[in-house]
Amino acid sequence: MAPDRYRRRRGLLLELRETCAFDFQSLVGGGDGLSVDASVVALVPDAPEVAVTAAEMAVLASTSALQWSDGTALRERWGADLVRGLAAKGLLLDADADEHATHWWPLAAVFHRASRWCDVAAPEGARSAGPRPLSELYQSLGPPPPPVLERTEPAARQPLPRVAHTDFDALLDRRATCRNFDTKRMLPLQGLAQLLSRVFGARGVAVVPPDVTVIKRTSPSGGGLHPTEAYLLVQRVEGVAPGLYHYHPVDHALEPLRELSADAAAALALRMVAGQEYFADAHVLVAMASRFARSLWKYRNHTKAYRAAVLDVGHLSQTLYLCATEQGLAAYVTAAINEADIEQAFGLEPLQQGPLAVCGIGWRAAAMHTVEFDPLRAVWPTA
């Protein structure tokens, strides 16, 4: 039998939240027609948010998150109902409880948990017509901040020499987000293999004494830890059945997780990218999931650990863009994803492994049905 003791859940944050609602009585009484309700909400990394009362806040404030408190003493001081209620809400933990936010900086852990989506779909207009035109945004939001920040007068600037464009410049110019994929064409396995090797594969493996294994990728990573894993939803690849896979970066192999029908794969792709149909059509979707425990092994309770994880995904997505473009393929990256649905599909625990973005690769369609941003006319010369 577990000892009768409790401690406050680590990483607990309290938010004073206000909600506004229409109030007819206020309006007819000469008021502004609004009623404002305030409440205190408890936010923790690995449990749903819940409202707390002033009495419950007093109990939480008096209970340590690091040291155990005797259960009998807590009940005698605050009452059994309060202690039992806080335990039911997951804010007071007993000796049998488990936590998944170990070594997280609390603000980052709560942000990661609270910003995840589940079963969110883009508005119907966005799904059918693509991103909102800038002219429409201008009409509804007014002019944006200027595209260039000028800190000095023109006369004070030091001109830099113009340099000749090379083949690499041409490659950079062709690097454009794809929203039109050819759903009738299969992606060669050789092309997918080359891209995975260049972006996510281990270019080298080393063991640092006494026994720490590190890998080398083509993108930088905080602490050289490379915590980002590539989880694939394959839809149209020669020789690979539609379904879910994990890429093994050292063995350069696909680890099958679950085979899907073509219709089931398409439905999951749409859910992964929150209803963005133009992204769901990619031949392969790659969920880039950070293995937080690997980063937090070194950067424990570190204020920059989560930022480094986000940067890691950014570096990899840019490398993926360039590698895909060099191969004649099209690519995209989006953060508008249903993280919770991806976690469920691939069997991920959100505070251990969490998807931060989804990339897609495949053949670009011959015609542009959804608007793509290509101001250099490097991809669509006549569009």
**Cα separation of 305 and 298, whole Å?**
9
Q: Give residue 36's pLDDT band: very low, low, confident or very high (50, 70, 90).
A: confident
pLDDT value at position 293? 93
* Residue range 281-291: mean pLDDT, rounded: 98
**Cα separation of 195 and 322, whole Å?**
10
Which residues lie below 8 Å from residue 84, measured CB to CB, with a gap of 6+?
none
pLDDT at 336 over 60: yes
Are the C-beta atoms of residues 349 and 100 closer than 8 Å to each other? Answer: yes
pLDDT value at position 129? 46
pLDDT at 237 over 70: yes
**Cα separation of 139 and 133, whole Å?**
10
pLDDT value at position 96? 83
Query: What does the DSSP 8-state code read for residue 376?
Result: T
DSSP string across 12-32 = -EEEEEEEEEE-HHHHHTTS-
Q: What are phi and psi of 327, to 5 degrees?
A: -85, 0
Cα distances from 289 to residues 20, 281, 315, 324, in angstroms, run: 37, 21, 13, 20
3-class secondary structure, 57: helix
pLDDT value at position 131? 61
Instruction: Quote the Cα angle for 112-115-119, to 5°.
Output: 125
pLDDT at 229 over 60: yes
pLDDT value at position 236? 98
Which residues in 92-174 belong to E strands, given as ranges? 92-94
Query: What does the DSSP 8-state code read for residue 34?
Result: E
* Residue range 290-312: mean pLDDT, rounded: 96
> What predicted TM-score, i.e. pTM, was given to this entire model?
0.89
Q: Give residue 128's pLDDT band: very low, low, confident or very high (50, 70, 90).
A: very low
Radius of gyration of the CA atoms of the chain, in A:
26
Per-residue pLDDT of 173-207, as tens digits, reads 999 999 999 999 999 999 999 999 999 999 999 99
The tokens of 247 are what? 């890429």
10 Å CB burial of residue 120 (0-12, 13-18, 19+) is: middle
Residue type, 13: L
pLDDT value at position 179? 96
**Cα separation of 55 and 34, whole Å?**
28
10 Å CB burial of residue 281 (0-12, 13-18, 19+) is: buried
**Cα separation of 72 and 61, whole Å?**
18
Per-residue pLDDT of 43-78, as tens digits, reads 988 888 999 999 999 999 999 998 999 999 999 999
pLDDT at 338 over 90: yes
**Cα separation of 112 and 262, whole Å?**
32
Are the C-beta atoms of residues 233 and 271 closer than 8 Å to each other? Answer: no
Instruction: Please name each of the domains of the chain with its CATH number.
Output: 5-99 (no CATH), 166-362 (3.40.109.10)
Average pLDDT score over the chain: 92
